[in-house]
Amino acid sequence: MFFLLALLLLFVVFRLFLDLPWIQVIPAILIFYLGSGGWKFLRIFVKTIKRDAMAGYSLGSTWVKIWWYMRNRYTVPQLFQQTAKKHPEKVALIFQGTGETWTFQDLDTYSNKVANFFYERGFRSGDVIALFMESRNQYVGLWLGMAKIGVEAALLNSNVRQDSLLHCVNVSKAKAIVFGSELTEGDLKTENVPSGSEYLDPLIEKASSHPPNPPDKGFLDKLFYVYTSGTTGLPKAAIIIHCRYYRMASLVYNGFRMRPDDIVYDCLPLYHSAGNIVGIGQCLLHGLTVVIRKKFSASGFWEDCIVQYIGEICRYLLNQPSHEAERKHRVRMALGNGLRASIWKEFTERFGIPQIAEFYGATECNCSVGNFDNKFGACGFNSRLLPGAYPINLVRVNEDTMELIRGPDGLCIRCKPGEPGQLVGRIKQNHPLQRFDGYLNSEANAKKIAQNVFTKGDSAYLSGDVLVMDELGYMYFRDRTGDTFRWKGENVSTTEVEGTLSTEGKAGMAAIVDPDNSCDLVHFAEEMKKALPAYARPIFLRLLSEVNKTSTFKFQKMDLRKEGYDPNVVKDKLYFLEPRQCRYLPLDEEAFKRIQSGQAKL
């Protein structure tokens, strides 16, 4: 756009003020244009105009609808009811565990019963009920039914236990908990429910199926809460408003050109935004059929179609022996995030996936990006033709500490193509695409917001991730050098792991100060198994004689992470977790080689 305006200005100068004839004006403008980098701009224009136009249409159509829904105070349940009326007999949800199939009418009826039951029990708009269960059709019907009367669901991670579970319940200020019988010890039946609880299924079945009276809520009000993995302390409850739910689901639907007859295979947990918004949102808002699987299974994955993934799932699949079903499918798109360039080509070629719909964006962020045109290795892009249209950018950062690097004016320094930087998004609370709804914990909010980023007095969301952008605006993951990464679907403290496709290439590692050699690893493993889900248990242990007192522990942690778990480098005692029996074994040179070669399963 800048160059087009510049060309117009040059025409005015050369033709009107200098009174040059036409035959001289055109070559003069062309020479000036090419001499000032015009070829580069022209190349970018040609290569990205189609991509930018597609993204602009997606963003524009989503924005128009958001504006309309905001103005008329719509909610997600109201939008779902519109969807259900269009095709009541179409299949909405299929639970692969039992084959239970719900039509849109079934889902609408069940959620109405949930709404009326809780309303009769005295729950009102603004109340919170915690939902603690594994994925199945009822999971969707429960939170949707609560939302129909304005009750906000706190979607608890079904893996958390003890103090973390208690914290998640308390921070939400939930007035009740709905929990799945599969999470209790023993065989739970109607006659032996825990004291103080009730068997919910028959109570919901008896409730009225009439649509409840809608609550006084609008598009910018709270819908439910999604919890972070708790990498830097206890899990944080991210606020999901109706507008955010719609925005996340619709940008994926429009940006990746999904179709009403698509079927989405959702094996991601419904307590996370990827499974419950990006996946289930296609059912509730756009009328797609969604297959829900309780847990991911690599062996049975290709028996279903349109797939959602996180990066680890792709590695698990590649680690499976080849079989006939992996090519005999109708999967036209793999939708998700975290697929690294190192396995991208192998994944698409082995399994015959024509489109990778890779996107980037945390649950609470305002700077999501998408790879809408199937660009190899990219997690998204930002327009180079109109870079200010979507107010996000990469800014320079100290990759060890993730501290922003600022210029003499106190503002952040924007990265040039090829320079790694942290992705940030300008915050405007009155703009539905740029607002930051944050967490229930105000202290957690402060850690995700930076001031004076692009201009004096502004604020921006900090993604915490280091990306690299090329000259066409495509963004690529740069494995962060901080202290967290994804392990088995969650964010944990990590160290590099080589030689295995079964992991994302990093695994949890803990350092324990044990100057007296008194650490009881058997007791430690037993207590850890009770308190921590499998993904949060450290795979490697390093026993330190002392903490380096010449620097802060944060910097020492970076040093420990870089040293890794090689017994030839690390002189402290090292151990690794044997997952089947959940016990720690000495990590000697022989064990190190087995891990490096992929023979040892972590």
Instruction: Please write the tens of the pLDDT for every residue from 204-220.
Output: 999 999 999 999 999 99
Task: Note the pLDDT of residue 71.
Answer: 96
DSSP string, 3-19: HHHHHHHHHIIIIIIS-
- Alpha carbon distance 105, 134 (integer Å): 23
Closest among 104, 152, 145 to 128, alpha carbons compared: 152
- Alpha carbon distance 267, 246 (integer Å): 21
Non-local (6+) Cβ contacts of 128 within 8 A are 151, 152, 153, 154, 172, 173, 174, 175, 225
CA distances from 534 to 106, 236, 397 (A): 35, 19, 32
For tokens 């128009």, what's the residue? 64
Percentages helix, strand, coil for the chain, rounded to the nearest 5? Answer: 35, 20, 40
Identify the bridge partners of residue 36 per DSSP, sorted by sequence position.
none
Task: Note the pLDDT of residue 548.
Answer: 64
- Alpha carbon distance 63, 251 (integer Å): 10
Task: Decide: residue 202, CB within 10 A, 0-12 exposed, 13-18 middle, 19+ buried.
Answer: exposed
Handedness of CA 295, 298, 303, 308 (dihedral sign): positive
Give the H or E element holding residue 226: strand 222-227
Provide the 3-class DSSP secondary structure of residue 147.
helix
Cα-Cα end-to-end distance for the chain = 52
Give the H or E element holding residue 195: none
Task: Note the pLDDT of residue 329.
Answer: 83
Non-local (6+) Cβ contacts of 537 within 8 A are 508, 528, 529, 577, 582
Give alpha helix (H) positions in 296-450. 311-318, 341-351, 442-447
DSSP string, 51-94: HHHHHHHHHHHHHHHHHHHHHTT--HHHHHHHHHHH-TTSEEEE
Task: Note the pLDDT of residue 499.
Answer: 44
Give alpha helix (H) positions in 188-263. 200-206, 242-255
Task: Note the pLDDT of residue 253.
Answer: 96
- Alpha carbon distance 391, 129 (integer Å): 36
CB 415 within 8 A of CB 407: no
Q: How many CB atoms within 10 Å of residue 89?
A: 8
The rounded radius of gyration (Å) of the Cα atoms in the chain is 26
Non-local (6+) Cβ contacts of 13 within 8 A are none
Task: Note the pLDDT of residue 18.
Answer: 45
Handedness of CA 515, 518, 521, 527 (dihedral sign): negative
Task: Note the pLDDT of residue 405.
Answer: 97
Task: Note the pLDDT of residue 507.
Answer: 64
Non-local (6+) Cβ contacts of 501 within 8 A are 315, 316, 318, 319, 343, 598
Q: Which two tokens stand for residue 217?
A: 């809520």
Segments of the chain scoring below 50 in pLDDT: 1-2, 10, 13-18, 480-487, 492-494, 499-505, 550-555
